[in-house]
Structure 1
Amino acid sequence: MNKREVLLKGTNVTKVFGHGKKKTIAVSEVDFAFHRGEIISIVGESGSGKTTLAKMMMGLLKETSGNIEYLGKPRQLKTYAQRKAYWKDIQAIFQDPFSSFNIFHKVEKLLKDCIKLQGLKLSKKEQFEKMKEACSFVNLKFEELYNKYPFELSGGQMQRLMIARIFMLHPKILIADEPTSMIDACSRSTILDMLLKLRDENQMTIIFITHDVGLAYYVSDTLYIMEKGKIVESGPAEEIIISPRHLYTKQLISDVPKIHEEWNLA
């Protein structure tokens, strides 16, 4: 892994909603630096600001102040063409897969849109093979799904379909916001394995947004602990779990007995 290349960097990133007495500081002066091929988890309870931060990283929300750089340069997101180019490299998987797809579009259209986004000129046969390959990667059969609408699929199938899109797009960065919270334990393990396989094959950077410090510890190289809009602690995952410095981090870890058991036995 080449950790020296910083793909996404934030300095004093802040997001304020509202004005005056109704003002809410959702994210306050956050710094981050994510490297190629790195797995990062931003961990915090509901309301900590982690999803707002993820939306700013994606370019779906504009930061109130501070700077976010991509590949060493300030992002250019003013025009549709600039945003489209950025979103070719940075994709997201969200908690609710059904909200991520147009319910009036069949699976075939959803996957063909990925080919369009890449600007590829493929024959019908080449398109079919590309969609089939993507579905096969996530253990789905394109021939059984292509004519179905999102509401005809299960939650697990929808999450797999989202990963099939990522397989087709080959983004440099994937932001995964609570991607396994709405599916069963067996599917959760499978989805995580698929995401980690994508990282290994494509040197893709994965940013998990999660409240689950146990999950974060097991999959991540680096942890960012977020409380009330601020990053209160960050560093290598093992270092933070073994020697947490901040009281909030200690509280999160104490809620996951298995982590303590593992280190006590070590």
Structure 2
Amino acid sequence: MKEREVLLSGRQLTKVFGYGPNKTTAISDVSFDFHEGEIVSIVGESGSGKTTLAKMLMGLLKQTSGTIEYKGKPRRLNRYADRRAYWKDIQAIFQDPFASFNLFHRVEKLLTDCIKLQGLQLSPEMQVRKMKEACSFVNLKYEELYNKYPFELSGGQMQRLMIARIFMLRPKVLIADEPTSMVDACSRSTILDMLLKLRDENKMTIIFITHDVGLAYYVSDTLLIMEKGRVVESGDAERIILNPQHSYTIQLINDVPKIHSAWNLG
């Protein structure tokens, strides 16, 4: 079996906010390798550093020290052209979909911006066809949405619209930060199924940022358990859930009654 390519890697990543006695170390000495088509969950409670790490991976925060490589080469984000090229391949879905869109832009512009990011030169008819196809993939009707503003949509519609963007962009890596936390249980299952379908169709690497150990076990190949800015345990998802080694991992699992009772973890 051919070994999967390492797409995104980090070595000894550290992120410090502030200076002197007021400084806070949000990420401390974190290393990882994320492979093509792999589903990884970075798991931890609020304040564990997982969202800070996600923003560093996206290039929205600069690391204080350490290195991040993409496809085996040091990541370059100094120039706008470099960042644009990187964001063609690395995309994100955040917890609050309304914070991810410009509230003064209609849905049509949000979707046509995806076409522009790809650098595609399409006729107006082809643009509409691509946008309709993306909306259909997430069970939305373009005709009912294209002229609306984000604040006119529900949270579930906005999350689906974010996935429609991912469908259009076809990134190599998707960072999904608590993507189902603001929707009901039925929508949560549907959104996860959509993301997993995209992974299967495009060999997309998905990095879930979550506090939900049950979700992480259900969807992931690999887990990174984070506590206070450090990765305290990492590896195969099933091994970690069935045989956790670190006390913090055991605590997280014990806080999920179904996992705890099903596998009788002490």
TM-score, length-scaled by structure 2: 0.98
- Corresponding position of 2:47: 47
Is 1:95 matched up with 2:95? Answer: yes
Gaps of 5+ in 2: none
For the pair 1:35 / 2:35, whether they are aligned, the reply is yes
Cα distance in structure 2, aligned partners of 1:260 and 1:47: 24
2:222 maps to 1:222:
yes
Q: How many angstroms does 1:2 deviate by?
A: 5.7
Residues 53-76 of structure 1: CA distance to partner in whole angstroms, max 9, x if unpaired?
A: 000000000000000000000000
Task: Report the residue type matching 1:86 in the other structure.
Answer: Y
- Alignment deviations for residues 54-110 of structure 1 (CA, whole Å, 9 cap, x no partner): 000000000000000000000000000000000000000000000000000000010
For residues 159-178 of structure 1, give each alpha carbon's deviation from its aligned partner in whole angstroms, at most 9, with x where no partner exists: 00000000000000000000
What is the Cα deviation at residue 259 of structure 1?
A: 1.4
CA distance in 2, matches of 1:148, 1:48: 37
Q: TM-score, normalised by structure 1?
A: 0.98
CA deviation string 1:123-177 (max 9, x = no partner): 1110010000000000000011000000000000000000000000000000000
1:263 to partner: Cα distance: 2.9
Q: What corresponds to 2:164 in structure 1?
A: 164
Is contact 1:2-1:36 (8 Å) kept? no
Give the structure 2 partner of residue 15 of structure 1: 15
The aligned residue for residue 125 of structure 1 is 125
Q: Which residue of 1 aligns with 2:245?
A: 245
Tell me how far 1:215 sits from its aligned partner: 0.5
In structure 1, runs of 5+ residues without a counterpart are none
1:16-36 CA distance string (max 9 Å, x none): 000110010000000010000
Tell me the amino acid that sits aligned with residue 218 of structure 1.
Y
- Residue 4 of structure 1: CA displacement? 2.7
| SS of match in other structure, 2:66 | strand
Alignment correspondent of 1:108 = 108
- What is the distance in 2 between the residues matched to 1:74 and 1:241? 33
Whole-Å Cα distance in 1 between the matches of residues 263 and 81 of structure 2? 50
- Deviation of 1:260 (Å): 2.8
SS in 2 for 1:252: helix
Structure 1 residue runs of 4 or more that deviate by more than 6 Å after TM superposition: none
Counterparts of 1:3 and 1:22 in 2: how far apart (Å)?
Answer: 45
Deviation of 1:3 after TM superposition, in Å, equals 4.6
Q: Which residue of 2 aligns with 1:25?
A: 25
1:137 aligns with 2:137: yes
Tell me which residue corresponds to 1:154.
154
Which residue in the other structure is 1:57 paired with?
Answer: 57
3-state SS of 2:33 partner: strand
CA RMSD of aligned residues (A): 0.9
Give me the whole-angstrom Cα distance separating, in 1, the residues matched to 2:242 and 2:49: 25
Q: Distance in 1 between matches of 2:197 and 2:218?
A: 15
Residue in structure 1 matched with residue 6 of structure 2 by the alignment: 6
CA distance in 2, matches of 1:213, 1:3: 27
Identity of aligned residues (%): 80
Helix, strand or coil at the partner of 1:14: strand
Post-superposition offset of 1:258: 1.1
- CA–CA distance in structure 2, aligned partners of residues 95 and 2 of structure 1: 35
Taking the aligned partners of 2:151 and 2:254, their CA distance within structure 1 comes to 39
The whole-number CA distance in structure 1 between the counterparts of 2:118 and 2:2 is: 25
C-alpha distance in 1 between matches for 2:113 and 2:143? 18
